[in-house]
A and B are shown apart, each in its own frame.
Chain A
Amino acid sequence: MILKILAGRVDEAAVVKTRLLHYMVRFANDEVTAFKHWAAESTFIYVAKSRKTAAVAVTGPPSLEKVEEAVKRLATAPEDPLYVPIGGPSPATRHESPEDFEKLPDLVKTAVDAASGVERSAGVVHLTHASVSYEDTAGRSGAYSVNRVYMAMRSFLGDLSATSAAAGRRIGDIDAARLGRENAHLLDLARGLPQVRVEPARADLLLSPLVFAHLIGEAAGNWASGSEVLAGTSRYTKEDIGREVASRLLTVADAAHDPGAYGHTPFDLEGVPPRPVEIYRGGQLAGLLHTRRTAHALGMEPTGHAMHHYARPWPGHIRIAPGDGPADLEELLRDLRRGYYIHNNWYTRFQNVKTGQFSTVGRDVALEVRDGKPVAVVKYIRIADTLENLVNNVAQLSREARQIYWWDMPTPAHSPHAIVKNIGITT
């Protein structure tokens, strides 16, 4: 319908309609406190005429007024320096039926029952069934629907807390008992330890998958994005591809193409299926994430990463290759020898995206480690350094990667634990 309204008034148009059906179970004090569902619809409209482009995003079904707004914007828009004609193969159509939301509360019971020794747990299980359709004036069209589910649980013991998370494409992918066991294990390690504060310093850190994937996700999104490279706001240039820019242990790929990944996206806002893109390969910058526009501008191939915006590529799901380090937390602490274990984080803020100067606040239990053993719980720790130091100073990766997501992560991920040397901390 929208394309018919636009016919003859613009040279090209594309319409992406999204309907997200959410099911959420919330729990507190070990019991389900809310079980709700809601639907969110949005429409993205792109128009082009005489190399001028405009786009509008609408919450809910688009009104005629919004369609007209897109056309009106063309009249005053300058010629788009990144303009590229709509084209390429037609996106595929593939649907999957919604997961059975009535199974979600079972995950809560399983996780809570496994968290033995903690005082209480709280959290969320969130299932999304996303339905997306694409059509454009070049005759390309496609549609898909996918399920995505994640669970995050925070357990408490006195004033200590621990958070675990898991993500997957099916409810069956979530190992809820593991969340409970991990929280119980960490709180048991922290139980009875003295609580200390740190002075600003540089230290070796063991980062949980939640923390490491969060920060690598920021690096991937801000530095490997074609739009940021074009704008000069990335740490990297196109010429850096093939150069060593990170620890040789670091291999990171975008896995939005992978049907098993939480962030699996059959095609992006331009109707392009995501390609597997290696961002870091053994410490070398291996590739960039692109929309059709940024790829054309940089003389590269589109990768299908117009995930949230047609002008700014962003990873759909990052996969950090595991290493050969131990999978067990206490063995990892032994390998760290002296430093700090940071289990969770939030409030990641950048003071300079290009240099990657950031700080992020530790959340839940953080452990001070001496001679490979936890000796104290650290209150109010904050990582304050650069992403460049982070990616360069990776010294060990565990051999097991977890698929994780919770609301504060920039991108869902598969990630191992990581030991990173000589990183700035403050309180």
Chain B
Amino acid sequence: MSNTYLEPGDWKPGEIISDTRRGIYMVSYTEWNINDTRYSGRYGILEGYLIENGELKHPVKGFVEVDTPELWGNVDAVGRDLQLFVGTCGKGNPSQGIPVTMGGPTFRSRGLRVVT
């Protein structure tokens, strides 16, 4: 596990939302899983809101299912709000964990598949 994160951009987070006609603002995710080549991921929406015409609407639940190249290749807006959090990277055989940081700025990725 490397401590990689997205380089901050120029957008204010609110600008990304107001610039989005229809989408989901995913504040935090949960219960993600991914295959062992780290290619095909699924991320549950822990806290998320519908965006319509640049405004936040009601909370939504569901899952983003996306291939890693699509997730990062479709990024067109990156916020300046870099935040890092304390986390643990776990491994098996035998089970173990090491402290890492995780996080990054708010970003927008276009055209991802969201399922319920």
Q: A359-B42, A426-B42, A426-B115 are in contact. Are A347 and B33 (CB under 8 A)?
A: yes
Q: Which residues of A contact B10 (CB under 8 A)?
A: none
- Complex partner residue of A359 from B33, B39, B94, CB under 8 angstroms: B33
Asked whether B92 is an interface residue with its Cβ less than 8 Å from the other chain, the reply is yes
- Complex partner residue of A380 from B31, B40, B44, B94, CB under 8 angstroms: B40
Binding site for B on A (CB under 8 A): 22, 24, 26, 124, 126, 152, 200, 346-351, 359-363, 379-380, 382, 384, 406-408, 426-427
Min distance, Cβ B33 to any Cβ of chain A, angstroms: 3
Min distance, Cβ B77 to any Cβ of chain A, angstroms: 27
List B residues 25-63 near A (Cβ within 8 Å): 30-36, 39-40, 42, 44, 63
8 sample A-B contacts, Cβ–Cβ < 8 Å, listed by A number: A200-B65, A346-B33, A348-B33, A361-B34, A380-B35, A407-B94, A426-B42, A427-B40
Chain B facing A: main interface SS: strand
CB atoms of B36 and A363 under 8 A apart: yes
Min distance, Cβ A228 to any Cβ of chain B, angstroms: 18
- Complex partner residue of B115 from A126, A200, A350, A379, CB under 8 angstroms: A200
Min distance, Cβ A83 to any Cβ of chain B, angstroms: 32
Q: Which residues of B contact A200 (CB under 8 A)?
A: 65, 115
CB atoms of B44 and A382 under 8 A apart: no
CB atoms of A347 and B40 under 8 A apart: no
CB atoms of B35 and A350 under 8 A apart: no
Min distance, Cβ A24 to any Cβ of chain B, angstroms: 7
Docked CA distance A7–B73 (Å): 65
Min distance, Cβ B48 to any Cβ of chain A, angstroms: 13
CB atoms of A382 and B92 under 8 A apart: no
- Complex partner residue of B95 from A349, A351, A363, A407, CB under 8 angstroms: A407
Binding site for A on B (CB under 8 A): 30-36, 39-40, 42, 44, 63, 65, 67, 92-95, 115
Q: A382: nearest residue on chain B (CB-CB)?
A: B42
Q: Which residues of A contact B34 (CB under 8 A)?
A: 347, 361
Min distance, Cβ B8 to any Cβ of chain A, angstroms: 29
Q: Which residues of B contact A427 (CB under 8 A)?
A: 40, 65
Among B30, B34, B40, B67, the one with the most A-chain Cβ atoms within 10 Å of its Cβ is B40
Given contacts A349-B33, A359-B42, 9 further A-B contacts (CB under 8 A): A24-B94, A200-B115, A351-B30, A351-B44, A351-B63, A359-B63, A361-B42, A362-B35, A380-B35
Docked CA distance A238–B31 (Å): 29
Q: Which residues of A contact B115 (CB under 8 A)?
A: 200, 426
CB atoms of A349 and B94 under 8 A apart: no
- Complex partner residue of A350 from B31, B39, B40, B92, CB under 8 angstroms: B31
3 nearest A-B residue pairs (beta carbon): A347-B33, A407-B92, A380-B40
CB atoms of B35 and A361 under 8 A apart: yes
Q: A350: nearest residue on chain B (CB-CB)?
A: B31
CB atoms of A360 and B36 under 8 A apart: no
CB atoms of B35 and A407 under 8 A apart: no
Q: A360: nearest residue on chain B (CB-CB)?
A: B33
Q: Which residues of A contact B30 (CB under 8 A)?
A: 351
CB atoms of A349 and B44 under 8 A apart: yes
